């Protein structure tokens, strides 16, 4: 398999974005700025969070974990930025509880 250069990847991404923009209604058409968001598959999310699949879906049902996006008929993925934000919230929650526990 041929390796694609960074420049070629960027050219293809711009071409895809342009095609998508042309297919959208005028109101929704807007220029995408910055890098596209990375989508993480379930195994990567499990590894990043340390949570097993059942716990992830339990937390989604309770509204305490980011919801996945549908990628196909039998596949889903999570937006990396949302998983990172969830991780940061857990760290903030931990640090807040630690700070308050010392003041009692």
Does 62 lie in the same domain as 50? yes
Average pLDDT, the chain: 82
Which residue range forms the structural domain that includes residue 27?
A: 1-36
Do residues 30 and 41 both lie within one domain?
A: no
Specify the residue for token string 């596949």: 75
pLDDT at residue 26 in the model: 47
Q: How many domains does the chain have?
A: 2
45 in the same domain as 1: no
pLDDT tens for each residue of 8-50: 777 777 776 666 666 655 444 455 566 778 999 999 999 999 9
Q: Do 74 and 25 share a structural domain?
A: no
Query: What local confidence, expressed as pLDDT, does residue 27 receive?
Result: 44
Does residue 77 sit in the same domain as residue 62? yes
Q: Which residues contact 4 (CB under 8 A, 6 or more apart)?
A: 12
């Amino acid at each position: 398999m041929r390796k694609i250069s960074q420049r070629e990847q960027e050219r293809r991404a711009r071409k895809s974005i342009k095609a998508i923009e042309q297919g959208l209604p005028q109101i929704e058409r807007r220029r995408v700025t910055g890098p596209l968001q990375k989508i993480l598959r379930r195994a990567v999310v499990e590894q990043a969070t340390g949570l097993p699949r059942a716990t992830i879906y339990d937390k989604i049902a309770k509204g305490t974990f980011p919801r996945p996006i549908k990628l196909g008929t039998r596949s889903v993925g999570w937006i990396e930025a949302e998983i990172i934000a969830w991780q940061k919230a857990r760290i903030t929650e931990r640090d807040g509880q630690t700070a308050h526990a010392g003041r009692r």
